[in-house]
Every structure is written in structure tokens, then in C-alpha cells.
Amino acid sequence: MTKKIVNLLIDNKVIALFQKESEIGPRALGNRSLIASPVLKEMKNILNKIKSRENFRPVAPIVLNEHKSEWFDIEKESPFMLFSVKCKNPDKIPSAIHADQTSRIQTITKENGYVYNILLEFYNRTKIPVLINTSFNTKCYPILETPKDAIETFLEQKEISVMIIHNYFIERK
């Protein structure tokens, strides 16, 4: 399924992930996430439309930990999106950077499991070790807790092309 997901990401589709248990904290860390390719400049606006946010609002990148220093001005891990750092390749990932050329990154390791495998395959195919990630929810709602919540949001948000709930692959036709 990973190769199919990456094909969709390369085609600039938005993927909703509903995996494992919900995460604790202020950020989407891969289990309740909307992910997309950072290459298309307009992707940030597409994600902000889904979330009913202003277009100036940034979305954050996830990056393979082993490639973080090639793409961002950081040496340490950042597993919880707590640091904004300068991007070294802003022209290659325009939807993943802020107006000041920084990004609030999350470094991804094998311990991140499912989302790591997707990101690694994306890197293997594109040589870009970065995807954009934002929480799987919409304006005024918390991150989704139940499959029912996820399905309702998927049905309402036409810009989400695919949703993966655990091992179920649901594609919009």
C-alpha cells in the first residue's frame, strides 16, 4: 500500500491518515494527519482550505531524521514540531516553508512506523525527504478520535483524495 500512497502524493493528492491511538500534544505527529507533497507551491493553500484557515497560515514539514541537516539548519532531532529552523532548499519544497524561509519541522525515525515508511518511499522516488503534515481536523474541531469522525470529515472535504483508516484504503472517485 505504501507505493500506492506515494504515487498519489507524487500526483499532488492529499492523504488523510487515521492510525493507531490518538497522539497527545499540540501537533499532528502522523497518526491523525493530513499529508501531502511539499513540491507544489499551492498545496499549503489546499490544506488550509480543508482546514478553513487563512492562506497565510503555514503547514509544517516532516523530514527523515537522517536527512534533516541537508534540508534544514538543525543538528538535533525534533520529534514534536517544537523548533522553527531555516530551510536550506526552499525552492524545492515551497509549500513547507514560511515567508521567512523557516519551517517548524518534525524529524521522523523508524520508530514513527507507518508514516516513516511512506516518507522513506517518497524520498526513494523523488530524492526529497520531506512531506507536509497537518492535523486531521477542520476549523473549530479537535483532532479526530473515532473512525466515524474521520469518515465524516473525509466525506465533507472533497480536497482529501484518500483516507487510510488502519488497514483500510478509501479513495474518492
SS (H, E, C) 43-90: HHHHHHHHCCCCCCCCCEEEEEHHHHHHHECCCCCCCCCCEEEEECCC
- Quick one: pLDDT at residue 31? 76
Residue-wise pLDDT tens digits, 50-98: 988 888 888 899 999 999 999 999 999 998 888 899 999 999 999 999 9
The CATH label, of 3.90.1150.10, 3.10.129.10, 3.40.50.1100, 3.90.870.20, for the domain at 2-171 is 3.90.870.20
Using an 8 Å Cβ cutoff, are 41 and 94 in contact?
Answer: yes
Is residue 145 very low, low, confident or very high in pLDDT (cuts 50, 70, 90)?
Answer: confident
- Quick one: pLDDT at residue 18? 92
Residue-wise pLDDT tens digits, 27-46: 667 778 999 999 999 999 99
The alpha carbon of residue 116 and the mean position of all alpha carbons in its chain are separated, in whole angstroms, by 11
- Residues present in the chain in total: 173
